[in-house]
Structure 1
Amino acid sequence: MRRLLRPGSLLWPAALVVLACTAPVAAADSVTAASPIAACAPALVGTAVPAGIPVLDWSENVGYDAQGNLWVSRIYRNVVQRYDRSGALTATVPVEFPGAVRSGPDGLLYVVYGDSPTSAVRPGGVVRFDPAAEDPKPEVFVSGFAMPNGAAFDASGTLYVAAMSGVIRVRTDGSIDTAWTEQAAKTGANGIVAHGDSLYVTANGIPFGRILRIAIDNPSQQTVVADLSSVLPGVPDFADDLLIDADGILYVTTLSGQLVRVDPATGGACAVLTGQPLTSVVATPGRPNELLAGTESGDVLRVQLPR
């Protein structure tokens, strides 16, 4: 979620220009502003779950449990909601400022909490619960994080949390791998996904809209996959959530309302969708080429990718 201004603020493009212009040009990881992302074959878009009250129902993150139910983080309502395959609301679970919702290897649902500036005085972390329960009861799995937002499990069941300080590695017993985490420090980490021996992370420090690859076995080894720009020429975008498909292609959501397709092998990027600000993205189980995307308005969009 991590925003500098209120959602929908007309000052957002100007603020990004100021940030871009005041960035230290000699910084080791600075780059020339990327060109606006070109359009590729457009996706078809519909509404999977409509917002009840726009913005108040802001859908910060979306994810599926092992039973195929959809879970939506309603960050301003301090709840995560469960929807069945028909789209009916079947459960509401209290979670303070919820972020990523991810199904764990143990079948439990893991939800990031504390995705708010208040985590500086009231740290966030991750709760977990049985998603199949009629009335799920969340319990704290790990805590002590500043503005955590994204989460991902690797093939071994290890959890990685993207927070303001960088990527945090959490062992299966809930303890933090401090040595690994110190090497993975990268201010402004936001979304994260695991694939093979790598983590892909969206980072919004300087510059905004950077996609990084982090080697799981050597987290100090970090390479830039792509730098995204907004629909405005030369203005960096805010990259939020991301997923990786079976072909190894990334799909990244941005504040300017783009769903960007990124090929990690080449860094090539194009937008399959441009519209309202997007917060999160998940693949629909059993439906190839279909994604669901969360939005700041609160709608959960159904996105059919071009074949």
Structure 2
Amino acid sequence: MSVSKPRRPIRHGWFTAALIAVACIGFGAPPASAEPVAGCVPAAASTVLSPGVPLLDWSENVAYDAAGNLWVSRIYRNEVQRYDGSGRLTATVPVEFPGAVRLGPDGLLYVVYGASPTSAIRPGGVVRFDPAAATPRPEVFVSGFTFPNGAAFDTDGVLYVASTATGVIKVRRDGTVDAEWTARAPGAGANGIEVRDGIVYLTSNAGPLGRVMSFPVDAPERRTVLADLSSSLPGVPDFADDLLVDPDGIVYVATLSGKLVRIDPRGGAACTVLSTEPMTSVVAVPGKPGELLAGTERGGVLHIRLVP
């Protein structure tokens, strides 16, 4: 099923700025900063997909399929785009306000739709389709969510959706929601999410802004704050968008202020490895340790090389 015809886009950047302004009211001491510390070497970045039309080509999320094609959510074009290894656009799939793109255990690509405040009236959810098809056709996997944004699978194929409006939602393999688990999980403000080794990692931008936390899959009420990120402005928190957890358990968070923040959950140390343009998402390059791609608000995609 194709999830709707494109409509006039909501200006997501303005909405984000409003969130920052509201969240800053009433803050006392500034949150923990993510500035360079000993042992945190700066990363190098270059552009692999050039920015397009401002705002319209905003790249909300990036992901790879099993064949190594890159998929980019163009939230204001109401579509996800497929690029081959040379950066050539090979397919577009209509999805209304697409958010996270994730490869499922069945080889299908799962895309969050309705990643917009308009989902309060027109609910969102998740669609799926065959990424290898010449003309992929999305069908609804689960629906009824308000402002779904991030998504992640665990090793059992269970899908976790981060809803900015309501919190983390657990979706079973058959597309039904585990309401009991969901009621115990973190609430409004949820954004980026990943699951690794039985632990859920989450960014949240409500109470306070820029929070990065973790909790066990089996005990979502047991939460650990990993970091509260700050922007380059003194006393102003950052907006934490999507995140990545590498094979060593290190967390990388993309932020509105243009930082890529490295967090070591074992000691809680956080530092900035890259300062660039506002980033929305980050994904590991398959088969190339230490190399990442990041989506940006301008619409380009950055290649980031981490230094061991």
Structure-2-length-normalised TM-score? 0.92
Query: Tell me, which stretches of 5 or more residues in structure 2 are unaligned?
Result: 1-9
Alignment-derived partner of residue 22 in structure 1: 26
Q: Report how many residues are paired.
A: 295
**Residue 120 (str. 1) matches residue 120 (str. 2):** yes
Cα pair 1:59 1:75 within 8 Å, conserved: yes
Whether the 8 Å contact between 2:294 and 2:302 is mirrored in structure 1 is yes
Aligned partner letter, 2:238: D
Determine if contact 2:169/2:177 at 8 Å carries over to the other structure. Answer: yes
Match of 1:38 in 2: 35
Pairwise CA distance, 1:218: 1.2
Counterpart amino acid of 1:20? C
Q: Deviations over 1:49-74 (max 9, x none)?
A: 11222321000000011111100000
Return closer, same or farther for 1:8/1:256 CA change in 2, 3 Å cut-off. Answer: farther
2:229 alignment partner in structure 1: 228
Shift in Å, 1:6: 5.6
Q: Following TM superposition, by how much is the alpha carbon of 1:7 offset from its aligned partner in structure 2, in angstroms?
A: 2.5
1:195 aligns with 196
Summarize the alignment of residues 216-295 of structure 1 with structure 2, pairs less than 5 Å apart. Answer: 216-295=217-296
Describe the SS at the equivalent of 1:19. helix
**Whole-Å Cα distance in 2 between the matches of residues 167 and 175 of structure 1?**
14
1:182 paired to 2:183:
yes
Residue in 2 that maps onto 1:75? 75
1:306 maps to a residue whose letter is V
Q: C-alpha distance in 2, partners of 1:112/1:128?
A: 9
Q: Secondary structure at the match of 2:271?
A: strand
Distance 2:202 2:300 in 1: 24
After superposition, where does 1:151-170 map in structure 2 within 5 Å? 151-163=151-163, 164-170=165-171
Distance 1:204 1:15, change over 3 A: closer
- TM (normalized to structure 1)? 0.92
Can you list the C-alpha shifts for 1:73-131, whole angstroms capped at 9, x where unaligned? Answer: 00000000000111111000000000000000000000000000000000000000000
> Distance in 1 between the 2:287 and 2:20 partners?
39
How far does the alpha carbon of each residue in 1:193-215 deviate from its partner, in whole angstroms, 9 at most, with x for none? 00111100001001101011121
Counterparts in 2 of 1:5 and 1:112: CA distance versus 1, 3 Å? closer
Name the SS for the 2:93 alignment partner: strand
1:240 aligned counterpart, secondary structure = strand
My pick for the range that moved more, 94-103 or 41-50, is: 41-50
Identity %: 62
Specify the code of the residue in structure 2 equivalent to 1:94. Answer: P
Q: Structure 1 residues 295 and 233 mapped into 2: Cα distance closer, same or farther (>3 Å)?
A: same
**Separation of aligned partners in 1, 2:219 and 2:34:** 31
> Structure 1 residue 41: deviation in Å?
1.6
Check if 1:7 corresponds to 2:9: no
Sort the Cα spacing of 1:153 and 1:18 in 2 relative to 1 into closer, same or farther, 3 A. closer
Deviating more after overlay: 118-127 vs 46-55: 46-55
- In 1, Cα distance between equivalents of 2:224 and 2:291: 29
Mapped partners of 2:155, 2:22: distance in 1 = 41
CA contact (8 A) 1:188 1:205 kept: yes
Deviation readout 1:135-171 (Å, 9 max, x if unpaired): 0000000001110010000011100000021100000
Alpha-carbon distance, 1:18 to partner: 5.7
| Structure 2 partner of 1:28 | none
Kept after mapping to 2: 8 A contact 1:97/1:114 = yes
User: Is this contact kept in 2: 1:282–1:293, CA < 8 A?
Assistant: yes
Partner of 2:7: none
Who is 1:130 aligned against? 130
Residue type at the aligned position of 1:211: V
Structural mapping, 1:198-209, within 5 Å = 198-209=199-210
Unmatched tracts of structure 1, length 5 or more: 26-31
Amino acid at match of 2:66: A
In 2, the alpha carbon distance for the partners of 1:17 and 1:113 equals: 26
**Following the alignment from structure 1 to structure 2, what is the Cα–Cα distance between the partners of residues 121 and 141?**
19
> How large is the Cα RMSD of the aligned pairs?
1.9
SS at match of 1:119: helix
Following TM superposition, the consecutive aligned residue runs of length 4 or more in structure 1 with deviations greater than 4 angstroms are none
Indicate conservation of the 8 Å contact 2:52/2:298, yes or no. Answer: no
